[in-house]
Amino acid sequence: MSAAGTRHDRVSQAAAAALLLAGLLALALLVVAPFGRAWHDAHQSVADARTLLAGFERAAAEIPALEARLRALGGQAGAAQPGLLDAGNAPLASAQLQSAVKAIVAAAGGQVRSVQDLPATRVGGFQQVGIRIDIAIPTPGLQQALYRIEAAQPYMFVDALAIRAAETLRTPRASGGGDALSVRAEILAYIRATAP
């Protein structure tokens, strides 16, 4: 064989080796690389799971202290809170509000003509209860009654106050009748909101 033939064989062998190497590289990129990515992703998932597990273990360690705090707060839930009506639900609170307002009006020399419960509404962590009351009361007694309502414990708030001209009032305190005002007001108070 001549030198040119040997050279051609070497080039052919080099080309064949290059093609074999290119094929092995393509095989590595197509087959081995996805397995490598999958292994890396699995390794990262394990690391993420360990981080989450550590967080869950910290949270689990806090549970006994949080449960003790919840029990302590739960024990306070039934206790009366200053400023709020001491009632378990809106109808009872409304009845307490009616009794308190009727007593204040009577002490000021007025007469309660009618009382109507207003719908209870939730306001933040509280439940607002209210009554609409129509009274006849002497002029000096109105100021006294409004002051006592606003200064009362539990807190009561006068809302939607409407005052009309004087009429004749017959009460034991106003012997022989006297000038009185016809008053309509909404009186509001609050209780602790019950769970929805």
β-sheet with 111-123: strand ranges across = 111-123, 126-138, 178-192, 157-169
Q: In terms of Cα–Cα distance, which of 94, 182, 92, 186 is closest to 132?
A: 186
For residue range 9-67, list pLDDT tens digits in order: 888 888 888 888 888 888 777 777 777 788 888 888 888 888 888 888 888 888 888 88
CB 153 within 8 A of CB 114: no
Of the candidate ranges 32-41, 138-147, 182-191, the one whose mean pLDDT is the lowest:
32-41
> What are the domain boundaries of the chain?
1-79, 90-192
pTM exceeding 0.75: no
Asked whether the predicted pLDDT for residue 175 surpasses 60, the reply is no
Question: Which CATH number is associated with domain 90-192?
Answer: 3.30.70.60
CA distance 37 to 53: 24
